Amino acid sequence: MRVRRKPWAAGEIAQNSHMIHDPASFRGHWKDAFGNDNPIYLEIGCGKGQFLSRNSLRYPDVNFIGIERDETVIATAARRLSESQKNLRLVNANVVDLLDFFTPGEIDRLYINFCDPWPKKKWAKRRLTHRLFLEKYAELLGEHGEIFFKTDNRLLFEFSLNEFCATDWRLSKITLDLHHSEWAEDNITTEYEEKFSSMGMPIYRLEARYEPRNQEK
């Protein structure tokens, strides 16, 4: 859903201390942006920031970065944050440029929450769990990184399962109804998640770690 552009958005982005204006300049030394050596978790398509904001408060010893391409949406996220949330940064950029912003292994965890399902077959390569994106994530995360993925769209979830399995990702903690699963208690919700769940829609979730098969010499 397209968000109506707000006249104050550009000013908020320019002045808000949580915004990173030149993410490529931090490539390879994002820990300098936070002033510590804590692990870094990244959410792509962070929307209005509820998920990241709640995570930053619950886990003060983790650094969080949110990427969102829509200017008004990320400005809204930035406006909602408090100055005390020093472990959270926001970037107004497109996910296709991820490797321009981070070096391999610099990110410890990647969140993909309720991304656009791009339902038509011809749009498959735009899905954030398409194997072309998974290749980027594998390089981004390095040997020890992981992906946490949530969606309300069953067809996207099935597509994603196939893409992960076809590209050497090991899956775990798969559930077809997150809010009635053993992982519900620790789950931090997004705005979309609360909306869909209130309508009685199940939430699909998985975790993935890249484990390439041994290649024959």
Tell me the catalytic residues. 116
Nearest to 76 by CA among 96, 49, 58: 49
Q: Of 160, 166, 162, 132, which is closest to residue 147 (Cα–Cα)? A: 160
Q: What angle do CA 160, 175, 74 make, to 5 degrees?
A: 60
What's the rounded Cα separation, in Å, for the pair 126 and 66? 19
Q: What is the dihedral of CA 53, 55, 56, 62, to 10 degrees?
A: -150
> Residues 159, 204: contact at Cβ < 8 Å?
no
